Amino acid sequence: MQSVNWSDQVNAFDSNGQKFGIQGSPSLTAVGNTAYMAWTGLSGTYIWFASIEANKPIWNPQTQVKGSNGTSFEADHTAPSITNIDDQQLFMCWKGKDSDAIYYSFYDIAANSWSNQVKASGQDGIPFSTQDSPYATVVNGTLLMAWSGSGNDGIWYSTYKTGTKEWASQIKAETSDGDSFHLQSSPAVASVKDAPFLAWNGQANDGIWYSAMNQKLLDQNWSVAQKAIGNESIAFNLVKSPALVTLPNTLFMTWNGITMDSLWYSFYDADTNQWVPQAKVKSESGELFGANDSSPGAAATSDHLLVSWNGIGKDGIWFTWGTPVG
């Protein structure tokens, strides 16, 4: 894939006519032709949730996320991360309100219900702590969560054991030489050829960096960090964090440009370890899509890409549908 044809941007409203107010960044995932979005509401720290059918302009009614015990989920002015486990279940994680703790919950799609929130800790009993939003994905059937350590000490990650319903002890992401990865904000994580792939904003705000695990989930060594540069030799510079989407044989990445006047995107080829030239996310009429000081969310339905973001004037969530070409 080389490029995407994007629709005009749309201000997100649901079928009840309610606008989606947001604080921070939205997060997206998809199952089949249905996309799901989670975000922190504008008026407080409560997490909200909605779904939409592919290539449609109107969302299904938004709801405030609550566990089966009726407790609302609250985030610490940061974005939740949502991903699909399979065709029946979603997973969401977030940085807790007034806390550096990570919380999580599972969503039963058929029952339209969330499990009670749980504070994440490893099987060694050590709780996971983060300075920003965590990010989750599924790698070869295994749920993986990554985050920026609360002590600004690099990227940490853990995998979830479905049999025992517990997290493995947290591990610091490092190369075989013991080099760790330092970052400005939260990392993004996806799967490439059944191996974890990380992307993040460099600690000096010096562009997007990335690394992949060398042996899928069989060892703990990551490749040496590389700066994301298109084959036109231009680095990918950004505000906040990128968003990643796993596609067949490739990765889609989008981010908020450094001047915040446009969203950008690129595709990654794992076989050649190359990124295609970055391009602006804009409609076929040439309209540019700008976000405020936050990160976009991204997902892929069966036939379309979906990107959403917090509008420049903090005027709610905006989104666009894309059709990959080339």
Residue (of 193, 189, 65) closest to 136 by Cα position: 189
Could you give the 3-state DSSP secondary structure of residue 140?
coil
Which amino acid is located at 310 in the chain? N
Give the distance from CA 196 to its chain's centroid: 14
Residue (of 280, 285, 289, 279) closest to 311 by Cα position: 289
Structure tokens, 160: 């979830």
Q: No. of H helices and E strands in the chain?
A: 0, 30
Q: Which domain holds residue 186?
A: 3-325
Say what the pLDDT of residue 218 is: 67
Q: How many domains does the chain have?
A: 1
Say what the pLDDT of residue 83 is: 98
Query: Which of the residues in the chain have pLDDT under 70?
Result: 1, 218
**CA gap 58, 26 in Å, rounded:** 16
Say what the pLDDT of residue 204 is: 79
**CA gap 219, 216 in Å, rounded:** 7
Strands (E) located in 41-109: 47-53, 63-64, 81-84, 89-95, 102-108
Say what the pLDDT of residue 259 is: 80
233: left (phi over 0), alpha (psi -120 to 50) or beta: left
**CA gap 137, 85 in Å, rounded:** 8
Residue with structure tokens 């703790």? Answer: 101
Which amino acid is located at 96 in the chain? G
Which amino acid is located at 221 in the chain? N
CATH number of the domain enclosing 213: 2.120.10.70
Contacts of 324 by beta carbon, 8 Å cutoff, 6+ apart: 1, 3, 4, 247, 252, 305
> pTM for the whole thing?
0.96
